[in-house]
A and B are shown apart, each in its own frame.
Chain A
Amino acid sequence: MSGVPEMANAGAAGRSVAALRRTSGQVVLHLILAGIFLCLALAPFLFGDVRSQQVAARICVFIVLVASYDLLIGYTGIVSFAHTMFFGFGAYGAAMTLRAWGPGWDAILIGGAAGVLAAFVLAALIGLLSLRVKAIFFAMVTLAAASVMMVLASQLSDLTGGEDGITYRVPGLLKPATKLLTDADGKVVRLFGVALNGKIAAYYFVFLSCLVLFGVMLRIVASPLGTVLQAIRENELRAEAIGYRVVAYRTAVFCLAAVLAALAGIVWAVWLKYTGPDTALSFAIMIDVLLMVVIGGMGTMTGAVIGVTVMSLAQYYLKDLMQAGADATAALPLIPDLLNPDRWLLWLGILFILLVYFFPAGIAGTLLKKDR
């Protein structure tokens, strides 16, 4: 590979120049992404309240979950309904060990690793046994596996806490009472008025873990493997004919996505200090993931960031917004009634329909396609 470095560099430079010719859609997309990144990176300092931090942490974790799902559905064209199951493996692995061993990084590491390993093994089994068959059959197998896991989780309540889930404590560093920095009087140091306590540490544990995982995925889609995955999505027969073992690649990406989802699950379990079916296993989460990937744009990676952000903001704040709207229009007929927060699901549905109508390829996908 060390042949003619000068020429090689010239070639690479030429290509990046071609890549630099950005369309207006791309510029808009990158501005949005930069905005989201800044908000997430500075969330504890920008938004003081507990709820906003919860939203920010959820956005971080779900970006990883949705992006790893995009590797499957958007890049490779694999439809799976078992993605939250793998997420749950990571979360429950860490949660059960934290409860059994008490708060400690060893519990997170070992329990999380066990969850990741379980996710990997099960993904490999499902993949090898059924990725050869028709896509619809594969989707059914994942659905069945996920249902079985749900039942198991609720039946094995000694281990999993059943429907109630598990609460546990996390390592001292991440506890709100922990002072990261103290001044001369032993009081916690404040930066821009925000106390540098364990809550901040917990948030940045989430943020940085997710940043690394998302970075890994960005690298994967820009790698030779990333192109092969797209080739399989585009034309399986030809991908095989030019020398790619389609079944092996499909299985590999299925395992990879499962591992990434499980890792996201660990982070989520550590942040929440609670793991149960509703936070880490339910089909409601799977549906959220599907909606997020569609709204953001399949096969784009950046779509995960946008889809998750839009949807999480809507899920957390639409009710508030409607309440404000209803109050403001209280004097008018009909409108306050329509804006009644109880109707928030209706408005969420309308929002989805509008988004899908105006951004048929998802927000990121449509922006990327837009010319100049």
Chain B
Amino acid sequence: MIVIAPHSLTTEDLTIRFGGHSAVNAVSCGFSPGELTVIVGPNGAGKTTYFNLISGQLPPSEGRIFKGDLDITRLSPSARAKAGIGRAFQLTSLFPRLSVLENVRLAVQARAGLGPRLLQKVSRFTQTWEAADRHLEATRLTDVAYLPAAALSHGDQRKLEVALLLAMQPDIFMFDEPTAGMSVDEAPLILELIENIRKDGAKTILLVEHKMDVVRALADRIIVLHNGELVADGKPDDVIALPIVREIYLGIPAEDVA
């Protein structure tokens, strides 16, 4: 019998319908601190939509979302960010004409609650700059700190996407295919960063990832979404061995496995 840690994030019957189509359908699931959950599922399964519901970009049709005991279902995305829910986007979403450093500093500044200061110069907030510098170093973006985000290579933009999430210092980290389109020598850095967050032990990590080797290497737990429904949930080896997973995710017909 495993002692179940109190969940840091819970979704209850979470559902969203677009027209008649349920992109996420009655998903009930809890996530615990220190746990890295990989979410897998074929294209269009509803993984990104599930993230959008949790971080507030989309309002659910039904169901509720809790951060710890706090019901956040009706909170705005910014309020959820302040409550400690952070996410990186599958489609890179940056501030294109601002410098890389400014991009990260904005996230640091939001976390520190300095946004409304209007009569002090940004240069005065040295701790903000130093924190931003640290996150740039961690994501190896120091060399391009003064370039506009739009001028970065695809790989560097993906890194900046992650740097913004790190700079938010949330309790809940949601990564949506963070290494997609990255070169083979860039991806390990991101995975190492995620691994470091896990080592902290107090953070909850949700990761959407397609690459099976990555999934095996990182996951404490795998959940499988299919047509918006939660179809499997468990330890990596167990889930990967499930016939339904082999069939829907790896494309191997169930009878071949059986």
List chain B residues, Cβ under 8 A from A241. Answer: 55, 57, 77-78, 81, 87, 89, 93
B183 within 8 Å of A by Cβ? no
Report whether B76 and A240 are in contact in the complex, using a CB–CB cutoff of 8 Å. Answer: yes
C-alpha spacing A11/B131, complex, angstroms:
12
Chain B contacts with A in 67-114, Cβ cutoff 8 A: 76-79, 81-82, 86-87, 89, 93-98, 102, 105-107, 109-111, 114
What size tier do the contact residues of chain B reach?
Answer: 35 or more
B117 within 8 Å of A by Cβ? yes
Report whether A235 and B95 are in contact in the complex, using a CB–CB cutoff of 8 Å. Answer: yes
A190-228 interface mask toward B, CB cutoff 8 Å, 1 = contact, 0 = none?
A: 000000000000000000000000001001101111111
Query: Which A-chain residue is minimally distant from B79 (CB atoms)?
Result: A245
Report whether A245 and B118 are in contact in the complex, using a CB–CB cutoff of 8 Å. Answer: no
List chain B residues, Cβ under 8 A from A220. Answer: 118-119
Report whether A231 and B98 are in contact in the complex, using a CB–CB cutoff of 8 Å. Answer: yes
Report whether B76 and A245 are in contact in the complex, using a CB–CB cutoff of 8 Å. Answer: yes
List chain A residues, Cβ under 8 A from B86. Answer: 242
C-alpha spacing A230/B126, complex, angstroms:
20
Given contacts A225-B118, A226-B122, A242 and B96 within 8 Å (CB-CB):
no
Report whether A234 and B127 are in contact in the complex, using a CB–CB cutoff of 8 Å. Answer: no
Residue among A3, A11, A15, A243 with the highest chain B CB neighbour number at 10 A: A243
Query: Which B-chain residue is minimally distant from A9 (CB atoms)?
Result: B126
Chain B contacts with A in 111-162, Cβ cutoff 8 A: 111, 114-127, 129-130, 146
* Cross-interface CB contact of B82 among A216, A237, A243, cutoff 8 Å: A243
C-alpha spacing A98/B100, complex, angstroms:
52
C-alpha spacing A244/B123, complex, angstroms:
20
A246 within 8 Å of B by Cβ? yes
Report whether A243 and B81 are in contact in the complex, using a CB–CB cutoff of 8 Å. Answer: yes
Report whether B95 and A244 are in contact in the complex, using a CB–CB cutoff of 8 Å. Answer: no
Report whether A240 and B78 are in contact in the complex, using a CB–CB cutoff of 8 Å. Answer: yes
B206 within 8 Å of A by Cβ? no
Interface of A is mostly: helix
Report whether A246 and B78 are in contact in the complex, using a CB–CB cutoff of 8 Å. Answer: yes
* Cross-interface CB contact of A1 among B87, B95, B127, cutoff 8 Å: B127
Total A-B pairs in contact (CB under 8 Å)? 116
List chain B residues, Cβ under 8 A from A234. Answer: 94-98
A8 within 8 Å of B by Cβ? yes
B16 within 8 Å of A by Cβ? no
Q: How far is the CB of B111 from chain A (nearest CB, A)?
A: 7
C-alpha spacing A227/B112, complex, angstroms:
14
A1-39 interface mask toward B, CB cutoff 8 Å, 1 = contact, 0 = none?
A: 101000110011001101000000000000000000000
Q: How far is the CB of B12 from chain A (nearest CB, A)?
A: 23
Residue among A11, A226, A241 with the highest chain B CB neighbour number at 10 A: A241
List chain B residues, Cβ under 8 A from A223. Answer: 117-122
Report whether B98 and A8 are in contact in the complex, using a CB–CB cutoff of 8 Å. Answer: no
B168 within 8 Å of A by Cβ? yes
Q: How far is the CB of A235 from chain B (nearest CB, A)?
A: 5
Q: How far is the CB of B99 from chain A (nearest CB, A)?
A: 10
List chain B residues, Cβ under 8 A from A12. Answer: 123-124, 126
Report whether B107 and A242 are in contact in the complex, using a CB–CB cutoff of 8 Å. Answer: yes
Report whether B81 and A227 are in contact in the complex, using a CB–CB cutoff of 8 Å. Answer: no
C-alpha spacing A230/B94, complex, angstroms:
12
* 12 A-B pairs (CB sep. < 8 Å): A11-B126, A12-B123, A15-B123, A219-B121, A222-B122, A224-B120, A225-B116, A225-B118, A226-B118, A238-B93, A241-B87, A244-B115
Q: Which B residues fall within an 8 A CB radius of A?
A: 55, 57, 76-79, 81-82, 86-87, 89, 93-98, 102, 105-107, 109-111, 114-127, 129-130, 146, 164, 167-168
Q: Which A residues fall within an 8 A CB radius of B?
A: 1, 3, 7-8, 11-12, 15-16, 18, 216, 219-220, 222-228, 230-231, 234-235, 237-246, 249, 252, 256
